[in-house]
Amino acid sequence: MSYKDSRLKLLSGSAHTELTSEIASYLDVPLTAASIGRFPDGEIDIKLHEDMRGSDVFVLQPTGPPVNENMIELLLIVDTLRRASAGRITAVMPYFGYARKDRKDEGRVPISAKVMANILVSSGVDRVLTIDLHAQQIQGFFDIPVDHLWARSVLGEAVQEMNLDNLVVCSPDVGGVKLARAWAKSLRCPLTIVDKRRVSGDTVVMENVIGAVEGCNVLLTDDMISTAGTITEAARILKEKGALRVIIAATHAVLCGPAVERLQNCAAEKVLVSNTIALRGALPDNLEVVSVAPLLARAITRIHREESVSALFEEVKTA
Ligand code: R5P
């Protein structure tokens, strides 16, 4: 793709400079020159080195770990842009942190996703571009336009290349059924569900699979892998119920705590994830990373040109 327009600017926070550089080369635009550093006490120090007046600025910053640090940095970048008279500011958040706290499902807890949306909007963000929100209704927490992309469109190509026959899609819990159903619909295969019970933040128990998996290859789908408790426990029970090959496809590789070790030793032969979050440090051998850069570059081009973004997804719409 060759794209040149002096008023489109692409700026990287420090959360995922590799992804921003990849997008910049797809768009054929230079990265906006900026210094993002730290004062001796840890406070964030930002300076832009280009005129931003009237520009259509896309700021890339997934709010994965360290979540609070990355979110504050994004807010300060947005404030800098607003005060530098940027024309329009789009927060490109391939991964939106705090999304799992999206409702008050017990007494005396915050709705953290709503708090994050509020502070982003009040800092001066005009639009949000994101991928696979934990729940699509989080879009409604923002009183600004949200363009929501599905990584399934890029992960799906990697799955198709494996030519898996007798395939069944499986959701590791009831919450993931909508996503798994969309996968099953696009791959034209049956849907199954694991009955999950969460006992603590990083421990889950699974005893039953709803639907037949014996003698089948299973594609286990999820929006995120955090401690990997959910997905590795689901892979284990699927094998126990007679599944042949188990392949995992998940959008956001948060990979915290025991995740790497759990994935390394799990029953799945391959773990397909996207690079919505920067993957650093030791990774499991069965991990394969698919880039969302071309997808984000196409969406940014369309937003900049005021063209439809949903047209990108006509063929992969969620069921
Ligand atoms: C649950 O609602 C999510 O979709 C993921 O299944 C979950 O957050 C993954 O967490 P962990 O990897 O820690 O089990």
pLDDT in tens, 252-287: 999 999 999 999 999 999 999 999 999 999 999 999
223 lines ligand 1 (CB under 6 A): yes
**CA-to-CA distance for 227 and 256, rounded, in angstroms?**
5
Q: Are residues 113 and 229 in the same domain?
A: no
**pLDDT of res. 204:** 86
Q: What is the residue range of 118's domain?
A: 8-151+293-317
2 inside domain: no
Q: How confident is the model at residue 318 (pLDDT cuts 50, 70, 90)?
A: very low
**CA-to-CA distance for 186 and 180, rounded, in angstroms?**
10
Q: Are residues 127 and 97 in the same domain?
A: yes
Q: Are residues 12 and 132 in the same domain?
A: yes
Catalytic residue among 4, 178, 196, 241: 196
Cα-to-centroid distance, 225 and ligand 1 (Å): 6
Question: Starting at the edge strand that comes first in sequence, how are the strands of the sheet with 246-253 ordered?
Answer: 203-210, 191-200, 167-171, 217-225, 246-253, 270-274, 287-290
Q: Are residues 163 and 175 in the same domain?
A: yes
- Residue where the block lists tokens 């930002």: 46
**CA-to-CA distance for 63 and 94, rounded, in angstroms?**
8
Residue 28 Cα to chain centre, angstroms: 24
Q: Are residues 162 and 131 in the same domain?
A: no
187 inside domain: yes
224 lines ligand 1 (CB under 6 A): yes
228 lines ligand 1 (CB under 6 A): yes
Q: Are residues 147 and 237 in the same domain?
A: no
3 inside domain: no
Q: Are residues 170 and 231 in the same domain?
A: yes
199, 202, 224, best to mutate for ligand 1 pocket (most atoms within 8 Å of CB): 224
- Residue where the block lists tokens 């099953």: 184
22 lines ligand 1 (CB under 6 A): no
177, 198, 222, 256, best to mutate for ligand 1 pocket (most atoms within 8 Å of CB): 222
21 inside domain: yes
226 lines ligand 1 (CB under 6 A): yes
Domain count, the chain: 2
- Kindly write down the DSSP assignment for every residue of 118-140, as one continuous string: HHHHHHT--EEEEE--SSGGGGG
Q: Are residues 127 and 161 in the same domain?
A: no
pTM for the complete prediction? 0.95
Cα-to-centroid distance, 260 and ligand 1 (Å): 14
Q: Are residues 226 and 257 in the same domain?
A: yes
Q: Are residues 118 and 212 in the same domain?
A: no
Q: Are residues 161 and 285 in the same domain?
A: yes
Q: Are residues 128 and 94 in the same domain?
A: yes
Q: pLDDT averaged over the chain?
A: 95
Cα-to-centroid distance, 208 and ligand 1 (Å): 18
Active site annotation includes 196? yes
71-97 per-position pLDDT tens digit: 999 999 999 999 999 999 999 999 999
176 lines ligand 1 (CB under 6 A): yes
Residue 111 sits in a domain whose CATH number is 3.40.50.2020
| Average pLDDT of span 244-251 | 98
Atom of ligand 1 nearest to the CA of 254: 12
- Residue where the block lists tokens 């993957």: 279
185 inside domain: yes
